[in-house]
């Protein structure tokens, strides 16, 4: 059974420390006030990396691939850079992604496929998974582009997500799930055994992605994943409400 890891998105070094204390496996730098993949400014990103040291890998949201004309310099110690595919369904986004991959070495590229691709003119998740799975060293995240009252499962059901996860993992591609995964939606995502489950709102004090990350809430999410990872593959974990 795949070992599931918890990714928590943070906007500053203080939140990064809270996520670390709560037991997050990966710390993701993202500014929720600037959109789904809003960038944290370079100074704050460096502070996040310095605050964590080598204790956890750090990823950074870098906006949409089609809007990336010139890559920003990234501080030493960053492990992953994430780019989304909004407005990319009618262009050769694959060539653009390969160019970005070459230019950010040694940082690893993560492509974000949007479950609600219709709303932002992005390619279908299956197309993205099929391509990324053929690119050594490229990771994949399935997320929602629009942050509203809908979550990942409003756009893709368990059967569809299971197929996408299997297609990626069969080719040794790291795949994560995100998209307003709170309450039972978080548990449902964990049960599908992706490599990573990513959250922002569920880790915040009020459950709102624009509030502050809480170590207590992160700890609760980490415990759900730990319980899941400890279970035999044949024994399901029941979703919490």
Which residues sit opposite 61 in a β-bridge? 82
Percent of the chain with pLDDT over 70: 95
Which of 30, 39, 108, 150 is an active site residue?
30
User: Residue 233 has what pLDDT?
Assistant: 64
Catalytic-role residue among 39, 82, 108, 150: 82
User: Among the listed ranges 29-38, 63-72, 123-132, 143-152, which one has the minimum average pLDDT value?
Assistant: 63-72
* pLDDT band of 67, cuts 50, 70, 90: confident
Report the candidate in 12, 174, 177, 179 with the shortest Cα–Cα distance to residue 79.
Answer: 174
Any residues with CB less than 8 A from the CB of 9 and at least 6 apart, and which?
28, 29, 30, 32, 61, 198, 199, 200, 203
H helices present in the chain, as ranges: 13-22, 42-52, 93-104, 125-132, 158-169, 184-191, 215-230
pLDDT digit string (tens) for 7-46? Answer: 999 999 999 999 999 999 999 999 998 989 999 999 999 9
**Cβ neighbours of 93 (radius 10 Å):** 22
CATH number of the structural domain 5-230: 3.20.20.390
Return the pLDDT at 2: 86
pTM over 0.85: yes
User: Distance (Å, rounded) from C-alpha 37 to C-alpha 31?
Assistant: 7
Task: Find the range with the poorest average confidence among 49-53, 100-104, 132-136, 232-236.
Answer: 232-236
Sole residue written with tokens 């964990």 = 190
What distance in Å separates the CA atoms of residue 8 and residue 178, rounded to the nearest whole number? 10
Which stretch of 48-57, 108-117, 152-161, 190-199 has the lowest confidence by average pLDDT?
48-57
Q: Three-class SS of residue 108?
A: strand
The mean predicted confidence, pLDDT, of the chain is 93
Mean pLDDT of 87-100: 94
Kindly tell me if the per-residue pLDDT of 236 is higher than 60: no
Domain ranges, ordered by start, for the chain: 5-230
Q: What's the confidence (pLDDT) of residue 238?
A: 41
pLDDT at residue number 158: 97
Angle at which helices 125-132 and 158-169 cross, to 10°: 10
101 a catalytic residue: no
Residue 241 clears pLDDT 60, i.e. is over it:
no
pLDDT of 204 higher than 70:
yes
């Amino acid at each position: 059974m795949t070992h599931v890891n918890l990714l928590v998105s943070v906007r500053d070094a203080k939140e990064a420390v809270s996520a670390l204390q709560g037991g997050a496996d990966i710390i993701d730098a993202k500014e929720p006030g600037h959109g789904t993949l809003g960038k944290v400014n370079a100074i704050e990103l460096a502070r996040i990396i310095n605050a964590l040291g080598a204790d956890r890998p750090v990823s950074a949201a870098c906006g949409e691939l089609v809007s990336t004309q010139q890559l920003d310099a990234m501080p030493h110690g960053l492990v992953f850079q994430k780019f989304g595919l909004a407005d990319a369904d009618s262009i050769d986004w694959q060539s653009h992604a390969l160019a970005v991959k070459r230019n950010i070495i040694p940082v690893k590229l993560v492509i974000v496929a949007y479950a609600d691709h219709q709303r932002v003119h992005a390619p279908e998740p299956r197309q993205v998974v099929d391509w990324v799975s053929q690119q050594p060293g490229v990771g994949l995240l399935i997320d929602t582009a629009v942050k509203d009252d809908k979550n990942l499962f409003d756009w893709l059901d368990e059967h569809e997500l299971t197929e996408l996860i299997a297609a990626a993992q069969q080719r040794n591609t790291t795949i994560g799930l995100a998209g307003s995964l709170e309450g039972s939606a978080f548990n449902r995502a964990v049960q599908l055994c992706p490599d990573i489950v990513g959250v922002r709102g569920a880790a915040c004090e009020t459950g709102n992605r624009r509030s502050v990350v809480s170590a207590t809430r992160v700890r609760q999410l980490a415990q759900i994943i730990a319980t899941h990872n400890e279970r035999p593959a044949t024994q399901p974990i029941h979703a919490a409400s």
